[in-house]
Amino acid sequence: MISRNPQLNRAGELQHLLTTEGLPVAILLDILDTAESFVGVTERDVKKIPLLRGKSVFNLFFEPSTRTRTTFEIAAKRLSADVHNLNIAVSAQSKGETLLDTVNNLSAMYADMFVVRHLQSGAAHLIAHHVQSDIHVINAGDGRHAHPTQALLDMFTIRRYKRDFQNLRVAIVGDILHSRVARSEIHALTTLGVPEVRVIAPKTLLPAKVERLGVHVYYDMVKGLKDVDVVMMLRLQNERMQSANLPSSEEYFKNYGLTQEKLSLAKPDAIVMHPGPLNRGVEIDSAVADGKQSVILPQVTYGIAVRMAVMSILAGN
Amino acid sequence: MNTKKLQLPDAENLFADLANKIRPDINKNTALVGVRTGGVWLAQRLQQELGLMNPLGILDISFYRDDFDRIGLHPKVKPSEIPFQVTDSHIILVDDILYTGRTIRAAINELFDYGRPASIRLAILVDRGKRELPIAAQYVGAEVVLPSGKMLNLQQGGDKKLRLSIYDKQLPA
Protein backbone atom coordinates (compact mmCIF):
# COMPACT_ATOMS: atom_id res chain seq x y z
CA MET A 1 0.00 0.00 0.00
CA ILE A 2 1.28 3.43 -0.89
CA SER A 3 0.81 5.76 2.04
CA ARG A 4 -0.30 9.30 1.48
CA ASN A 5 2.06 12.21 2.17
CA PRO A 6 1.08 13.00 5.78
CA GLN A 7 1.17 16.73 5.01
CA LEU A 8 -1.53 16.58 2.34
CA ASN A 9 -5.27 15.99 2.65
CA ARG A 10 -7.26 13.73 0.35
CA ALA A 11 -7.62 16.52 -2.19
CA GLY A 12 -3.83 16.91 -2.30
CA GLU A 13 -3.94 20.24 -0.47
CA LEU A 14 -1.62 21.21 2.36
CA GLN A 15 -3.09 20.01 5.66
CA HIS A 16 0.05 20.31 7.81
CA LEU A 17 3.48 21.75 7.12
CA LEU A 18 5.98 19.26 8.51
CA THR A 19 8.90 19.22 6.08
CA THR A 20 9.86 20.57 2.68
CA GLU A 21 10.82 17.03 1.65
CA GLY A 22 8.37 15.64 -0.88
CA LEU A 23 6.28 18.79 -1.13
CA PRO A 24 5.07 19.37 -4.70
CA VAL A 25 6.67 22.36 -6.41
CA ALA A 26 3.20 23.86 -7.00
CA ILE A 27 2.58 24.04 -3.25
CA LEU A 28 6.00 25.59 -2.59
CA LEU A 29 5.37 28.25 -5.24
CA ASP A 30 1.84 28.87 -3.96
CA ILE A 31 3.25 29.62 -0.50
CA LEU A 32 5.89 31.98 -1.93
CA ASP A 33 3.35 33.76 -4.17
CA THR A 34 0.86 34.15 -1.32
CA ALA A 35 3.61 35.55 0.90
CA GLU A 36 4.21 38.31 -1.66
CA SER A 37 0.71 39.60 -0.93
CA PHE A 38 1.42 39.73 2.80
CA VAL A 39 4.60 41.80 2.53
CA GLY A 40 2.60 44.97 1.85
CA VAL A 41 0.26 44.45 4.82
CA THR A 42 3.11 45.52 7.11
CA GLU A 43 3.27 48.93 5.44
CA ARG A 44 -0.38 49.85 5.98
CA ASP A 45 -2.11 51.85 8.71
CA VAL A 46 -3.79 48.71 10.01
CA LYS A 47 -1.24 45.91 9.90
CA LYS A 48 -3.84 43.21 10.24
CA ILE A 49 -6.14 41.26 7.97
CA PRO A 50 -9.23 39.41 9.19
CA LEU A 51 -8.50 36.00 7.67
CA LEU A 52 -8.00 33.97 10.87
CA ARG A 53 -10.42 35.92 13.04
CA GLY A 54 -11.77 33.67 15.79
CA LYS A 55 -9.12 30.99 15.26
CA SER A 56 -6.81 29.86 18.06
CA VAL A 57 -3.15 29.25 17.33
CA PHE A 58 -1.07 27.53 20.00
CA ASN A 59 2.69 28.01 19.93
CA LEU A 60 4.06 24.85 21.52
CA PHE A 61 7.74 25.39 22.14
CA PHE A 62 9.41 22.45 23.85
CA GLU A 63 12.77 23.97 23.00
CA PRO A 64 13.71 27.60 23.55
CA SER A 65 13.47 29.99 20.63
CA THR A 66 13.10 33.75 20.38
CA ARG A 67 13.04 34.69 16.72
CA THR A 68 10.99 31.80 15.37
CA ARG A 69 8.42 31.92 18.16
CA THR A 70 8.10 35.69 17.90
CA THR A 71 7.68 35.75 14.13
CA PHE A 72 5.05 33.00 14.34
CA GLU A 73 3.27 35.03 16.99
CA ILE A 74 3.41 38.22 14.92
CA ALA A 75 2.25 36.34 11.82
CA ALA A 76 -0.75 34.85 13.63
CA LYS A 77 -1.68 38.20 15.15
CA ARG A 78 -1.44 39.96 11.78
CA LEU A 79 -3.97 37.39 10.57
CA SER A 80 -6.22 38.30 13.54
CA ALA A 81 -5.90 34.89 15.20
CA ASP A 82 -5.78 34.49 18.98
CA VAL A 83 -2.29 33.34 19.92
CA HIS A 84 -1.35 31.33 22.97
CA ASN A 85 2.31 30.82 23.77
CA LEU A 86 3.19 27.77 25.78
CA ASN A 87 6.67 27.48 27.09
CA ILE A 88 6.42 23.81 27.75
CA ALA A 89 10.06 23.29 28.58
CA VAL A 90 9.18 24.79 31.97
CA SER A 91 5.60 23.61 32.51
CA ALA A 92 3.56 20.48 31.96
CA GLN A 93 6.31 18.23 30.63
CA SER A 94 8.50 18.93 33.58
CA LYS A 95 5.60 17.62 35.66
CA GLY A 96 5.65 14.40 33.65
CA GLU A 97 2.83 14.89 31.13
CA THR A 98 3.34 13.17 27.79
CA LEU A 99 3.46 15.08 24.50
CA LEU A 100 0.15 13.67 23.29
CA ASP A 101 -1.56 14.34 26.63
CA THR A 102 -0.49 17.96 26.35
CA VAL A 103 -1.89 18.11 22.81
CA ASN A 104 -5.16 16.44 23.88
CA ASN A 105 -5.64 19.00 26.61
CA LEU A 106 -5.01 21.91 24.28
CA SER A 107 -7.30 20.41 21.64
CA ALA A 108 -10.00 20.34 24.30
CA MET A 109 -9.47 24.12 24.55
CA TYR A 110 -10.53 24.41 20.88
CA ALA A 111 -7.16 24.82 19.21
CA ASP A 112 -7.26 25.30 15.44
CA MET A 113 -3.53 25.22 14.80
CA PHE A 114 -0.39 24.04 16.58
CA VAL A 115 3.03 25.49 15.90
CA VAL A 116 5.48 22.95 17.29
CA ARG A 117 9.17 23.21 18.15
CA HIS A 118 10.67 20.10 19.72
CA LEU A 119 14.14 18.69 20.27
CA GLN A 120 13.02 15.26 19.10
CA SER A 121 12.89 14.60 15.36
CA GLY A 122 9.38 13.57 14.33
CA ALA A 123 7.50 15.32 17.15
CA ALA A 124 5.41 17.44 14.77
CA HIS A 125 4.64 14.35 12.64
CA LEU A 126 3.44 12.53 15.73
CA ILE A 127 1.11 15.37 16.68
CA ALA A 128 -0.17 15.77 13.11
CA HIS A 129 -0.96 12.05 13.00
CA HIS A 130 -2.78 12.27 16.31
CA VAL A 131 -5.00 15.38 16.02
CA GLN A 132 -8.48 15.60 14.49
CA SER A 133 -8.69 16.38 10.80
CA ASP A 134 -9.74 20.01 11.29
CA ILE A 135 -6.58 20.87 13.24
CA HIS A 136 -3.44 21.98 11.43
CA VAL A 137 0.15 21.45 12.57
CA ILE A 138 3.18 23.51 11.58
CA ASN A 139 6.63 22.18 12.32
CA ALA A 140 8.75 25.03 13.72
CA GLY A 141 11.80 22.79 14.00
CA ASP A 142 12.14 19.17 15.16
CA GLY A 143 15.50 17.84 16.27
CA ARG A 144 17.90 17.45 13.36
CA HIS A 145 15.06 16.71 10.99
CA ALA A 146 13.31 19.72 9.49
CA HIS A 147 12.55 23.42 9.80
CA PRO A 148 10.31 24.04 6.81
CA THR A 149 9.24 27.65 7.44
CA GLN A 150 12.89 28.71 7.78
CA ALA A 151 13.64 27.05 4.43
CA LEU A 152 10.59 28.68 2.84
CA LEU A 153 11.52 32.16 4.05
CA ASP A 154 15.02 31.54 2.70
CA MET A 155 13.53 30.58 -0.67
CA PHE A 156 11.37 33.70 -0.57
CA THR A 157 14.43 35.85 0.17
CA ILE A 158 16.42 34.23 -2.65
CA ARG A 159 13.59 34.81 -5.12
CA ARG A 160 13.27 38.44 -4.03
CA TYR A 161 16.97 39.10 -4.75
CA LYS A 162 17.63 36.65 -7.60
CA ARG A 163 14.21 36.59 -9.32
CA ASP A 164 14.10 32.87 -10.07
CA PHE A 165 15.78 29.60 -9.17
CA GLN A 166 16.67 28.16 -12.55
CA ASN A 167 20.18 29.56 -13.03
CA LEU A 168 21.50 29.65 -9.48
CA ARG A 169 24.51 28.19 -7.77
CA VAL A 170 23.85 27.99 -4.02
CA ALA A 171 26.32 27.03 -1.28
CA ILE A 172 25.26 25.94 2.19
CA VAL A 173 28.18 26.26 4.61
CA GLY A 174 28.76 24.87 8.06
CA ASP A 175 27.33 22.29 10.42
CA ILE A 176 25.21 20.34 7.93
CA LEU A 177 25.22 17.26 10.17
CA HIS A 178 23.18 18.74 13.03
CA SER A 179 21.20 21.21 10.94
CA ARG A 180 17.48 20.79 10.32
CA VAL A 181 17.66 24.10 8.46
CA ALA A 182 20.18 22.69 5.96
CA ARG A 183 18.06 19.61 5.29
CA SER A 184 14.92 21.66 4.67
CA GLU A 185 16.84 24.12 2.49
CA ILE A 186 18.33 21.35 0.34
CA HIS A 187 14.91 19.78 -0.31
CA ALA A 188 13.34 23.14 -1.12
CA LEU A 189 16.18 24.27 -3.40
CA THR A 190 16.25 21.06 -5.42
CA THR A 191 12.44 20.94 -5.72
CA LEU A 192 12.39 24.54 -6.94
CA GLY A 193 14.86 23.65 -9.66
CA VAL A 194 18.16 25.15 -8.46
CA PRO A 195 20.62 23.37 -10.76
CA GLU A 196 23.62 23.39 -8.42
CA VAL A 197 23.41 23.10 -4.63
CA ARG A 198 26.73 22.80 -2.82
CA VAL A 199 27.45 21.91 0.78
CA ILE A 200 30.72 23.07 2.31
CA ALA A 201 31.82 21.58 5.63
CA PRO A 202 34.49 19.57 7.36
CA LYS A 203 33.95 15.81 7.01
CA THR A 204 33.02 15.57 10.68
CA LEU A 205 30.05 17.93 10.19
CA LEU A 206 28.59 16.22 7.10
CA PRO A 207 26.00 13.45 7.28
CA ALA A 208 26.95 10.15 5.69
CA LYS A 209 25.98 9.87 2.01
CA VAL A 210 24.88 13.51 1.85
CA GLU A 211 25.39 13.39 -1.96
CA ARG A 212 22.20 11.34 -2.18
CA LEU A 213 20.26 14.53 -1.47
CA GLY A 214 21.47 15.85 -4.82
CA VAL A 215 24.19 18.16 -3.56
CA HIS A 216 27.85 18.64 -4.50
CA VAL A 217 30.20 18.23 -1.55
CA TYR A 218 33.15 20.54 -0.85
CA TYR A 219 35.50 20.40 2.10
CA ASP A 220 37.16 23.68 1.20
CA MET A 221 35.62 27.17 1.18
CA VAL A 222 38.01 28.42 -1.53
CA LYS A 223 36.78 25.89 -4.06
CA GLY A 224 33.23 25.69 -2.80
CA LEU A 225 32.41 29.41 -2.88
CA LYS A 226 33.73 29.96 -6.40
CA ASP A 227 31.12 31.72 -8.55
CA VAL A 228 28.14 31.04 -6.28
CA ASP A 229 25.08 33.35 -6.32
CA VAL A 230 23.91 32.61 -2.78
CA VAL A 231 25.89 31.77 0.38
CA MET A 232 23.75 30.25 3.12
CA MET A 233 25.66 30.14 6.38
CA LEU A 234 24.63 27.86 9.24
CA ARG A 235 24.97 28.46 12.94
CA LEU A 236 27.68 26.48 14.66
CA GLN A 237 26.08 25.31 17.85
CA ASN A 238 28.43 26.45 20.60
CA GLU A 239 27.18 23.65 22.77
CA ARG A 240 28.76 21.20 20.37
CA MET A 241 32.14 22.89 20.33
CA GLN A 242 33.31 20.74 23.21
CA SER A 243 32.64 17.54 21.32
CA ALA A 244 35.15 15.61 19.29
CA ASN A 245 33.74 16.99 16.05
CA LEU A 246 35.79 20.16 16.10
CA PRO A 247 39.15 21.38 17.31
CA SER A 248 38.30 24.97 18.41
CA SER A 249 36.14 27.89 17.35
CA GLU A 250 39.25 29.80 16.21
CA GLU A 251 40.28 26.91 14.03
CA TYR A 252 36.76 26.63 12.65
CA PHE A 253 36.62 30.33 11.82
CA LYS A 254 39.93 30.10 10.00
CA ASN A 255 38.70 27.28 7.76
CA TYR A 256 34.95 27.75 7.51
CA GLY A 257 34.16 31.24 8.79
CA LEU A 258 32.85 33.60 6.13
CA THR A 259 35.16 36.60 5.72
CA GLN A 260 35.08 39.34 3.10
CA GLU A 261 38.11 37.74 1.51
CA LYS A 262 36.42 34.37 1.08
CA LEU A 263 33.19 36.00 -0.02
CA SER A 264 35.06 37.73 -2.85
CA LEU A 265 35.38 34.29 -4.51
CA ALA A 266 31.62 34.21 -5.01
CA LYS A 267 29.90 36.25 -7.70
CA PRO A 268 30.15 40.00 -7.06
CA ASP A 269 26.38 40.24 -6.53
CA ALA A 270 26.16 37.14 -4.32
CA ILE A 271 23.91 37.42 -1.27
CA VAL A 272 24.80 36.16 2.21
CA MET A 273 22.15 34.51 4.37
CA HIS A 274 22.06 33.16 7.93
CA PRO A 275 19.13 31.70 9.89
CA GLY A 276 20.32 33.24 13.16
CA PRO A 277 21.29 33.52 15.90
CA LEU A 278 24.69 34.70 14.68
CA ASN A 279 27.97 33.58 16.20
CA ARG A 280 30.10 36.51 15.13
CA GLY A 281 33.69 35.51 14.67
CA VAL A 282 32.84 31.79 14.64
CA GLU A 283 30.97 31.08 11.39
CA ILE A 284 30.72 34.63 10.10
CA ASP A 285 32.82 37.76 10.36
CA SER A 286 31.03 40.89 11.57
CA ALA A 287 32.12 42.81 8.46
CA VAL A 288 30.24 40.28 6.31
CA ALA A 289 27.21 39.93 8.59
CA ASP A 290 26.73 43.71 8.54
CA GLY A 291 28.03 44.18 5.00
CA LYS A 292 26.17 45.21 1.88
CA GLN A 293 25.81 41.66 0.55
CA SER A 294 24.13 40.49 3.76
CA VAL A 295 20.36 39.89 3.60
CA ILE A 296 20.16 38.46 7.12
CA LEU A 297 17.72 41.06 8.47
CA PRO A 298 15.44 40.99 5.40
CA GLN A 299 15.24 37.22 6.01
CA VAL A 300 13.73 37.93 9.43
CA THR A 301 11.24 40.43 8.00
CA TYR A 302 10.16 38.09 5.19
CA GLY A 303 9.75 35.33 7.76
CA ILE A 304 6.58 37.04 8.96
CA ALA A 305 4.99 37.20 5.50
CA VAL A 306 5.96 33.60 4.73
CA ARG A 307 4.51 32.33 8.02
CA MET A 308 1.33 34.32 7.38
CA ALA A 309 1.09 32.59 4.00
CA VAL A 310 1.57 29.12 5.48
CA MET A 311 -1.01 29.72 8.23
CA SER A 312 -3.63 31.15 5.90
CA ILE A 313 -3.23 28.40 3.32
CA LEU A 314 -3.48 25.71 6.02
CA ALA A 315 -6.47 27.32 7.72
CA GLY A 316 -8.33 27.44 4.41
CA ASN A 317 -7.72 23.76 3.53
CA MET B 1 -24.99 23.20 -23.79
CA ASN B 2 -28.16 24.29 -25.51
CA THR B 3 -28.99 27.58 -23.81
CA LYS B 4 -30.93 30.38 -25.43
CA LYS B 5 -28.60 33.12 -26.59
CA LEU B 6 -28.91 36.15 -24.32
CA GLN B 7 -28.37 39.54 -25.86
CA LEU B 8 -25.49 41.22 -24.02
CA PRO B 9 -24.65 44.91 -24.36
CA ASP B 10 -21.37 45.90 -25.98
CA ALA B 11 -18.79 46.41 -23.21
CA GLU B 12 -16.99 49.20 -25.06
CA ASN B 13 -20.25 51.20 -25.37
CA LEU B 14 -20.95 50.63 -21.68
CA PHE B 15 -17.47 51.80 -20.81
CA ALA B 16 -17.96 55.05 -22.77
CA ASP B 17 -21.28 55.64 -20.96
CA LEU B 18 -19.71 54.93 -17.60
CA ALA B 19 -16.82 57.34 -18.22
CA ASN B 20 -19.29 60.07 -19.25
CA LYS B 21 -21.31 59.57 -16.07
CA ILE B 22 -18.22 59.85 -13.87
CA ARG B 23 -16.64 62.80 -15.72
CA PRO B 24 -18.68 65.64 -14.15
CA ASP B 25 -17.73 64.50 -10.62
CA ILE B 26 -13.98 64.30 -11.20
CA ASN B 27 -11.60 66.74 -9.58
CA LYS B 28 -7.90 66.76 -8.72
CA ASN B 29 -8.50 64.87 -5.48
CA THR B 30 -10.29 61.94 -7.10
CA ALA B 31 -8.47 58.62 -6.79
CA LEU B 32 -9.53 55.45 -8.62
CA VAL B 33 -9.25 52.01 -7.04
CA GLY B 34 -9.87 48.94 -9.21
CA VAL B 35 -10.87 45.54 -7.82
CA ARG B 36 -8.92 42.66 -9.37
CA THR B 37 -9.19 41.61 -12.12
CA GLY B 38 -11.89 43.19 -14.28
CA GLY B 39 -12.16 46.28 -12.11
CA VAL B 40 -8.45 46.99 -12.60
CA TRP B 41 -8.79 46.92 -16.39
CA LEU B 42 -11.70 49.33 -16.15
CA ALA B 43 -9.92 51.62 -13.71
CA GLN B 44 -6.83 51.76 -15.95
CA ARG B 45 -9.00 52.70 -18.94
CA LEU B 46 -10.91 55.29 -16.89
CA GLN B 47 -7.68 56.77 -15.59
CA GLN B 48 -6.59 57.39 -19.18
CA GLU B 49 -9.98 58.45 -20.50
CA LEU B 50 -10.59 60.95 -17.68
CA GLY B 51 -7.00 62.23 -17.53
CA LEU B 52 -6.63 61.55 -13.81
CA MET B 53 -3.31 62.44 -12.21
CA ASN B 54 -3.47 60.52 -8.91
CA PRO B 55 -1.84 57.08 -9.04
CA LEU B 56 -4.23 54.17 -9.48
CA GLY B 57 -5.01 51.84 -6.59
CA ILE B 58 -5.44 48.08 -6.97
CA LEU B 59 -7.26 45.82 -4.52
CA ASP B 60 -7.11 42.04 -4.30
CA ILE B 61 -9.89 41.27 -1.83
CA SER B 62 -8.93 37.59 -1.30
CA PHE B 63 -7.92 38.21 2.34
CA TYR B 64 -11.25 39.92 3.09
CA ARG B 65 -13.66 37.47 1.50
CA ASP B 66 -16.49 36.19 3.70
CA ASP B 67 -16.34 32.64 2.29
CA PHE B 68 -12.78 31.83 3.45
CA ASP B 69 -14.12 29.30 5.98
CA ARG B 70 -16.02 27.51 3.22
CA ILE B 71 -13.66 27.56 0.27
CA GLY B 72 -10.27 28.56 1.71
CA LEU B 73 -7.78 30.96 0.28
CA HIS B 74 -8.13 31.98 -3.33
CA PRO B 75 -5.25 30.21 -5.05
CA LYS B 76 -3.94 33.07 -7.18
CA VAL B 77 -3.92 35.92 -4.70
CA LYS B 78 -1.87 38.96 -5.73
CA PRO B 79 -0.76 41.96 -3.68
CA SER B 80 -3.02 44.97 -3.21
CA GLU B 81 -1.33 48.25 -4.11
CA ILE B 82 -2.62 51.56 -2.80
CA PRO B 83 0.06 54.07 -3.81
CA PHE B 84 -1.63 57.14 -2.29
CA GLN B 85 -2.77 58.36 1.11
CA VAL B 86 -6.23 56.90 1.70
CA THR B 87 -7.06 59.12 4.66
CA ASP B 88 -9.12 62.14 3.50
CA SER B 89 -9.08 61.10 -0.17
CA HIS B 90 -12.17 60.89 -2.39
CA ILE B 91 -12.14 57.39 -3.82
CA ILE B 92 -14.08 55.92 -6.71
CA LEU B 93 -14.08 52.16 -6.36
CA VAL B 94 -14.31 50.42 -9.74
CA ASP B 95 -15.50 46.87 -10.47
CA ASP B 96 -16.86 45.11 -13.52
CA ILE B 97 -19.96 43.29 -12.25
CA LEU B 98 -22.11 44.16 -9.22
CA TYR B 99 -24.16 41.19 -8.01
CA THR B 100 -24.48 40.08 -4.37
CA GLY B 101 -22.44 43.05 -3.09
CA ARG B 102 -20.09 40.82 -1.07
CA THR B 103 -17.00 41.74 -3.09
CA ILE B 104 -17.66 45.44 -2.53
CA ARG B 105 -18.19 44.87 1.21
CA ALA B 106 -14.76 43.20 1.32
CA ALA B 107 -13.17 45.98 -0.77
CA ILE B 108 -14.53 48.72 1.51
CA ASN B 109 -13.26 46.86 4.60
CA GLU B 110 -9.81 46.53 3.05
CA LEU B 111 -9.69 50.23 2.07
CA PHE B 112 -10.38 51.23 5.66
CA ASP B 113 -7.31 49.29 6.78
CA TYR B 114 -5.26 51.77 4.73
CA GLY B 115 -6.90 54.81 6.31
CA ARG B 116 -10.14 56.80 6.62
CA PRO B 117 -11.23 58.04 3.22
CA ALA B 118 -13.29 61.24 2.93
CA SER B 119 -15.71 59.38 0.64
CA ILE B 120 -16.06 56.23 -1.43
CA ARG B 121 -18.25 56.01 -4.51
CA LEU B 122 -18.84 52.92 -6.58
CA ALA B 123 -18.58 52.65 -10.37
CA ILE B 124 -19.79 49.45 -12.03
CA LEU B 125 -19.90 48.36 -15.67
CA VAL B 126 -22.84 45.98 -15.25
CA ASP B 127 -25.28 45.79 -12.35
CA ARG B 128 -27.11 42.48 -12.43
CA GLY B 129 -29.22 43.04 -9.30
CA LYS B 130 -30.00 40.31 -6.71
CA ARG B 131 -28.11 42.09 -3.93
CA GLU B 132 -27.52 40.26 -0.63
CA LEU B 133 -26.12 43.35 1.14
CA PRO B 134 -27.28 46.99 1.26
CA ILE B 135 -24.82 48.25 -1.35
CA ALA B 136 -25.57 50.48 -4.35
CA ALA B 137 -23.45 51.88 -7.17
CA GLN B 138 -23.39 55.62 -7.95
CA TYR B 139 -22.21 55.09 -11.55
CA VAL B 140 -23.60 52.18 -13.59
CA GLY B 141 -22.92 51.32 -17.24
CA ALA B 142 -26.03 49.14 -17.60
CA GLU B 143 -28.43 46.99 -15.63
CA VAL B 144 -28.81 43.44 -16.89
CA VAL B 145 -31.16 40.82 -15.51
CA LEU B 146 -29.81 37.27 -15.67
CA PRO B 147 -30.98 33.93 -14.26
CA SER B 148 -29.04 33.09 -11.09
CA GLY B 149 -27.43 30.02 -12.70
CA LYS B 150 -25.57 32.26 -15.14
CA MET B 151 -22.24 33.97 -14.58
CA LEU B 152 -21.30 37.18 -16.30
CA ASN B 153 -17.66 37.74 -17.10
CA LEU B 154 -15.62 40.66 -18.45
CA GLN B 155 -12.62 39.92 -20.62
CA GLN B 156 -9.92 42.11 -22.06
CA GLY B 157 -8.45 41.28 -25.44
CA GLY B 158 -4.85 41.83 -26.53
CA ASP B 159 -6.03 45.12 -28.09
CA LYS B 160 -7.29 46.20 -24.62
CA LYS B 161 -10.90 46.04 -25.92
CA LEU B 162 -13.42 44.88 -23.34
CA ARG B 163 -15.94 42.12 -23.98
CA LEU B 164 -18.74 40.61 -21.88
CA SER B 165 -19.53 36.93 -21.95
CA ILE B 166 -21.94 34.61 -20.21
CA TYR B 167 -21.43 31.09 -18.96
CA ASP B 168 -23.10 28.50 -16.75
CA LYS B 169 -22.16 28.55 -13.08
CA GLN B 170 -20.34 25.21 -13.14
CA LEU B 171 -17.16 26.21 -14.93
CA PRO B 172 -15.10 23.43 -16.41
CA ALA B 173 -11.94 23.30 -14.29
pLDDT tens figures, B118-164: 999 999 999 999 999 999 999 999 999 988 888 899 999 888 899 99
Q: Please report residues of A whose CB lies closer than 8 A to that of B75.
A: 30
> Distance, in angstroms, between B84 CA and closest chain A CA?
11
Interface touch A50/B64, C-beta < 8 Å:
yes
Domain layout of chain B by residue ranges: 11-148
- For chain A, residues with pLDDT lower than 70 are 1-3, 89-95, 238-245
In the predicted model, is pLDDT for residue B14 greater than 90? yes
Percent of chain B with pLDDT over 90: 73
Would you list the DSSP string of B99-161? SSSHHHHHHHHHHHTT---SEEEEEEEEE----SSS---SEEEEE----TTEEEEEEE-TTS-
CA dist B22 and B39 (Å) reads 15
Choices 1.20.1560.10, 3.40.50.2020, 3.30.1280.10, 3.30.1360.120: CATH for B11-148: 3.40.50.2020
* Confidence at residue A45, expressed as pLDDT on a 0 to 100 scale: 85
pLDDT attached to residue A99: 85
CB A136 within 8 Å of CB A8: no
pLDDT tens by residue, B55-100: 999 999 999 999 888 888 887 889 999 999 999 999 999 999 999 9
CA distance A129 to A87: 22
Q: What is the pLDDT, as a whole number, of residue A102? A: 86
- pLDDT for B171 equals 54
pLDDT at site A3: 65
Q: B72–A49: do the CB atoms touch at under 8 Å?
A: no
What is the DSSP-derived secondary structure letter of residue A212? G
How far A293 CA lies from chain B's nearest CA (Å)? 27
Domains in chain A, ordered, with CATH? 25-146+303-316 (3.40.50.1370), 148-299 (3.40.50.1370)
Please judge whether B73 and A37 are an interchain contact, meaning their C-beta atoms are less than 8 angstroms apart: no
CB A57 within 8 A of CB A81: yes
Interface TM-score (ipTM) > 0.85: no
